[in-house]
Amino acid sequence: VENVLSYARLENGRRAAPPEATALRDLVARVQPRLAARVEQAGMELVIGPDGPWEQRALADADVVEQILFNLVDNACKYAASAADKRIEIRADRAKDGALLRVGDHGPGIAARESRRIFEPFHKSARDAAHSAPGVGLGLALSRRLARRLGGDLRLVSRPGEGACFEVRLPLAP
């Protein structure tokens, strides 16, 4: 429901809160209890990478980043639940044009033919629909739009069969 309402607000052109300079560590720490509860509910383990440029500051709306990270972790809980390795990992990294947060799992990954469509609103693969993964296929489309509204992006950076890894790029704070 939260995703549907957020998507409707985006479609109606509602303005988001102005971004603030915030360390990646603080963005993740804010949502960590909610993520940990969701991961525990799925019988999985949340791992926040100890290394990385966590002090790097990004321009972001913390509420928006929280929603993006929750959507990514929630998807990992749904689609990697049968994996032998139950870890869902969040890591920080740098790019020349932004601060990066990567969310990855060790599940089956996303087939190449599906990777082109996963960011379309209301898209679910035939496999996902057949296996009754909860949701309407809106989380990734919404998350990408939210990231882009912040001046960043969301993209799939993994290869099929290697689990799923998504990269959230946020603009660097001056």
Query: What's the pLDDT tens digit per position in 38-67?
Result: 999 999 999 999 999 999 999 999 999 999
Q: Contact at 8 Å (CB) between 68 and 138?
A: no
Q: Which two tokens stand for residue 34?
A: 């909610």
By residue count, the chain amounts to 174
Bridge partner residues of 43 (DSSP): none
* Average pLDDT, rounded, for the chain: 87
Nearest alpha-carbon partner for 102 in 172, 45, 53: 53
Q: Which two tokens stand for residue 106?
A: 């060790």
Q: What count of other Cβ atoms lies within 10 Å of the Cβ of residue 61?
A: 19
